Amino acid sequence: MLLALLEQQSQGGLGGVFWIFYIGLMLAMVYFMIIKPGKKQKKAQEDLRKSMEPGDSIMTTGGFYGTILDIAEDGTVIVEFGNNKNCRIPMHPNAIAEVEKAGSAVVKEDTASEKEDTSAAKDDVKLGKAKK
């Protein structure tokens, strides 16, 4: 029985090489589709935690928006929610999903003349006219 099995494998040619290649391919797919993205996400979360400072606006994993007031030495983050100055909650840093740095949002006000210039340029383009 064992002899017959060995003869079948020797006649098959590349059967063993195929299975080794197939298993290697499956392991590579698992690594690149599961393990590597997980490591990348974990590193991004760690960088997010390290970049947090008092005054930054945050969004928690529960969807609440707040402002960081203080970061304790043990890593606890004290967050103020809403306009109520008495609503200060200590949180674990893992509960923070997004951080927006203080002063990073830039608001640009459009003047009336800029709006007219851009609308006139759009009308010219629609009509096929080019300003020279």
129 domain residue, yes or no: no
CATH code, 73: 2.30.30
Q: How many CB atoms are closer than 10 A to CB 57?
A: 16
107 domain residue, yes or no: no
Mean pLDDT of 23-40: 93
- Tell me the whole-structure pTM to 2 decimals: 0.52
Can you tell me the distance from the alpha carbon of 34 to that of 111, in angstroms, rounded to the nearest whole number? 50
DSSP-H helix ranges across the chain = 2-12, 15-30, 36-51, 112-127
User: In which domain, by residue range, is 59 found?
Assistant: 52-100
Strand-pair partners of 58: 66, 99
2 domain residue, yes or no: no
22 pLDDT band, cuts 50/70/90, is very high
130 domain residue, yes or no: no
59 domain residue, yes or no: yes
112 pLDDT band, cuts 50/70/90, is very low
93 domain residue, yes or no: yes
Question: What is the number of structural domains in the chain?
Answer: 1
63 domain residue, yes or no: yes
